[in-house]
């Protein structure tokens, strides 16, 4: 999976999770920005690594 697709998925995930936090509680706005950045970076990198690892396992099983 390309980095572009992983980061688009991370953008969607971070938006949903930040929106959910905004509806659940009322912290200061800075924590929303920090939370969004953390969700985006962590999910983007881990999702990219996981999808590429699963893809390599799938290719190895087919050979």
Residue with tokens 């706005």: 29
How far is it, in rounded angstroms, from Cα 25 to Cα 40? 20
57 exposure class (CB count in 10 Å sphere: 0-12, 13-18, 19+): exposed
The span from the CA of 19 to the CA of 34, in Å, is 13
Query: Per residue in 11-63, pLDDT tens?
Result: 999 999 999 988 887 667 678 889 999 999 999 999 999 999 999 998 888 87
Q: Token digits for 58?
A: 């799938």
| Phi, psi angle pair for 26, to nearest 5° | -130, 65
């Amino acid at each position: 999976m390309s980095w572009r697709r992983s980061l688009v998925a991370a953008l969607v995930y971070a938006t949903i999770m930040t929106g959910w936090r905004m509806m659940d509680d009322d912290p200061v706005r800075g924590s929303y920005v920090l939370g969004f950045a953390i969700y985006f970076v962590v999910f983007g990198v881990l999702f990219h690594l996981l999808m590429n690892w699963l893809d390599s396992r799938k290719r190895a099983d087919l050979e």
